[in-house]
Amino acid sequence: GGEAAAAMSGSEGLLSVDYEVSGRVQGVFFRKYTQGEAKRLGLVGWVQNTSHGTVQGQVQGPAERVRELQEWLRKTGSPQSRISHAEFSNEKPIAALEHADFKIVK
C-alpha cells in the first residue's frame, strides 16, 4: 500500500482557500452538508453563517480535493439551497494543515 501515501503527498501540496457562498444558503442545512462533503474529501477547515445571509469559511487540504470542494460549493450545496455565487479568496499553498478537522462555527 505505498501508492496511496505517495498519491496523497503527490506533486500538488496542501492548499488553503477562504470561501463565501451567496444565495439561499442559510436555514437549508448548508453548513452541515458542507461539513459532510469536506470530511468525505478528507479536508479540514470551518464553515459559518454570516450576519448578511451568506455562508463563509476556510478549507485546507490536498489541492486536488480542495478544488473538488470548490466545485461543490459553486454548483451543488445542500439539496434545498440555491447558490447564486461562490467567491474564493486568499488561496495559498501551506506547509501543514492549520485545523484538526472541519467544524461548523456558530
The pLDDT assigned to 11 comes to: 55
Average pLDDT along the chain, 106 residues, taken 10 residues at a time: 48 90 98 98 98 98 97 98 98 96 96
DSSP the chain: -HHHHHHHHSSS-EEEEEEEEEEE-SSSSHHHHHHHHHHHTT-EEEEEE-TTS-EEEEEEEEHHHHHHHHHHHHHT-STT-EEEEEEEEEEEEESS-S-SSEEEE-
Give the model confidence (pLDDT) of 28-55 as tens digits.
999 999 999 999 999 999 999 999 999 9
What is the spatial distance between Cα 46 and Cα 103, in angstroms, rounded to a whole number? 5
- Cβ contact 34:51 at 8 Å: no
Residue of 31, 65, 74, 82 with catalytic role? 31
Residue of 49, 65, 74, 82 with catalytic role? 49
Fold of 14-104: Alpha-Beta Plaits (3.30.70)
* Annotated catalytic residue 31: yes
* Annotated catalytic residue 40: no
pTM recorded for the entire structure: 0.88
Q: Is the dihedral of CA 93, 13, 102, 81 positive or negative?
A: positive
